[in-house]
Every structure is written in structure tokens, then in C-alpha cells.
Amino acid sequence: MSRTFIFILLMLLPLASRSQTVEVEGIVYEIDVARGEAKLVNVTSHDLVEYSIQEAVEYGGRKYPVTAIGYRAFDYLNYATSITIPNSVVTIEDEAFGMCSYLTSVTISNSLKSIGNRAFYACFDLTSLSLPESLESIGVEAFGGCYNLESLTIPRNVVNIGIPLFDYHHRKLSSIGVSPENSKYDSRGGCNALIETGTNTLLAGCCNTVVPNTVTTIAQYAFYGLEGLKSLSLPNSVTRIEDYAFYVTSDLTDVRFPDSLKFIGDYAFALSMLKAIKLPNSLRHIGDSAFYYNGCWFVINKVEAPLTLPKSMDYMGKGAFAQWC
């Protein structure tokens, strides 16, 4: 046996022992020996109603704290109604609890810092969730499909929120709180929510949104697909409405544009239900298909008043008013 082969073999031995798996009460944990921590990676007992995650697991006479719940770890556990997450957990990865449709109770770690993309997607029976003050990041559509979620509070330390936080049909979301100290809130909210922002960009929408007069931009996909939003009056601080901002807002019939508005992006109001629009004289840009198929998606409406384009217009996109009934 050559010296080179022996050397390579000796180098690979530490890597082989770096990761180990341990199963405790139907839950599989992956242990990172080098880092001294464990991650919950899979569930083998699929018929349990309640799951209690270990705070630490033992291997080789040593205990390893469970710091993460891995990608799709609890995916499609249709019988689970209650899950308890210990204080050792700081990360919930993407889709960790996706499609746990009967999940009604989740006790979350007080040390949690990150919730991944679609982490609780389609947890239909989840009505409320208490997020810890330690939380710093929430992924895209983390609560998408949680159609029975009635309230949610975004903690003050959260600085990164995925867009959108929810998806379609969140009619039961009656309130979403944003800590007064939180100036980074940047995702879709719920009904009756006053959205505050320190970044001068509104990235949130809800049934009865009051847009603060500090907001200058309605961001891409801000109100995308939101049901229940029937009318909206934008403050004079708003100068831009970005692409797809109100795309497929199927209940939206009236928007009052501010005199300060200069830019409406591509598909900004496409497939909404606007009956009439009055464009301000300040407007310079209307994007491609900006008002495409308005009033025609579910019922046929007619424009209540002649459409007059402002003299300030510099650009008119292709099909901006196509298929307006």
C-alpha cells in the first residue's frame, strides 16, 4: 500500500466521523461532531399527534444541543396537531413544517433567530403563532397557505422578511402587529393593519390598509393576489408604484392616485377590478400591461368616465390598457 494512499485515507477518516445520525422517539437527528451541535432532519414515526423535539441528543458519551430543524423535516405529517420546539433551536429551515395541515399548536423556542422560506406553508389549522423577541429573519411565504391564521406579531428585532410573507386568501387574518421599534417591516400584512416603515417603501398590503405619508414607493408584488382589498387612497408622498404591485387584486375597484405619482410599473394593476381611474398630471410612466384586463376577470364593468392621459407622459407601455371592458 503506497504512502500516498495511506495519507489520503488518514485525511478522510475525520470527515467520515464528522457527521452521525441518532434516532430518538421516532425523530432523526444529524450530529455535527466538529461543531458540537445537532439538527433535526427527519421523522420516522408519521402517525403521532404530538411531537416533542429533544433539546439535546447523546452520542459517544457526549450531548449535542439541537440547534436547527432541517429542510422538510416534518413535511406532510398529516396527523400532527402539536409540536414543541426547545430553546436550543435557533433555526427553522425552508419548508420544515410544510403541509402539516392539522397542526394547531406550535410552541416556539425563545432563542429562535431564523424562520426559512415556506416554513409553515399550508398549515391550514394554525390559527395563531407567537414569535419570540429573539427572531431576526422570516423567509418568503413562511406562513403562506395558513388560511386560518387570525393574528401575528412581528417582533422588534426582525430585520429581514421575505416578500410575500403570506400568499392568497388570508381573509381571517384580522390583525398583524409590528413592534414600534421595528423599522424594517417589509412584507404583506393583514386586515386593519397600519404599516409603518423606516425605509420609505411600502412592501405590505391588507384589506383596510392605511398607508403612512412617509411611504414613497409601493414595491413589487406588495399587494399581489390579495383578496378583500376593495379601495385604497395613496398619500401624496407616493411617487412610484412598481411592477405587479396590485396584480390580481380581485376585489380592488377603486384606487385614488396622489398628485405626486410619477411611475406605474408593468402589470401594476393587471387583472384587478378597477371600474374607473383618474391619472394625476404628475404621471410620466405607465408600464407594459399596467391595467391589462381590468374589470373583465370575474365580471364585466365599464369605465365610468373617459380616460385622459396626462400631458406629462414620457412613456406608455405596450398593452397598458388592453382588454379594458
pLDDT in tens, 58-105: 999 999 999 999 999 998 888 899 999 999 999 999 999 999 999 999
CA atoms within 13 A on the CB side of 90: 6
- In this structure, of 74-88, 181-195, 197-211, the range with the lowest mean pLDDT score is 181-195
- In this structure, of 224-228, 252-256, 257-261, the range with the lowest mean pLDDT score is 224-228
Residue 265 pLDDT > 80: yes
More confident residue, 275 or 35: 35
Q: What pLDDT is attached to residue 212?
A: 63
311, 281 Cβ separation under 8 angstroms: yes
273, 250 Cβ separation under 8 angstroms: yes
Distance from C-alpha of 152 to C-alpha of 273, rounded to nearest angstrom: 29
280, 259 Cβ separation under 8 angstroms: yes
Read off the pLDDT of each residue in 243-249 and give the average, rounded to a whole number. Answer: 86
Q: What pLDDT is attached to residue 221?
A: 75
167, 225 Cβ separation under 8 angstroms: yes
37, 67 Cβ separation under 8 angstroms: yes
Residue located via cell numbers 380592488: 252
**The most confident of 93-107, 123-137, 285-299, by mean pLDDT:** 93-107
- In this structure, of 41-50, 60-69, 146-155, 249-258, the range with the lowest mean pLDDT score is 146-155
Residue 109 pLDDT > 70: yes
Q: What pLDDT is attached to residue 50?
A: 93
121, 139 Cβ separation under 8 angstroms: no
- In this structure, of 8-17, 149-158, 240-249, 290-299, the range with the lowest mean pLDDT score is 8-17
Residues in the chain: 325
Q: What pLDDT is attached to residue 81?
A: 94
98: number of Cβ within 10 Å: 25
Residue 206 pLDDT > 60: no
Q: What is the percent of the chain with per-residue pLDDT over 70, rounded to a whole number?
A: 72
259: number of Cβ within 10 Å: 9
Q: What pLDDT is attached to residue 304?
A: 45
Q: Give the tens place of pLDDT for each residue, 160-179.
A: 777 667 665 554 554 455 54
Residue located via cell numbers 384587478: 272
More confident residue, 91 or 206: 91
The strand pairing partners of 64, in sequence order, are 57
Band of residue 294 on the pLDDT scale cut at 50, 70, 90: low
Greatest CA span in the chain, whole angstroms?
Answer: 89
Read off the pLDDT of each residue in 148-163 and give the average, rounded to a whole number. Answer: 75
Check the CA dihedral 219-135-226-204 and report its sign: negative
Residue 183 pLDDT > 80: no
Q: Give the tens place of pLDDT for each residue, 46-65.
A: 889 999 999 999 999 999 99
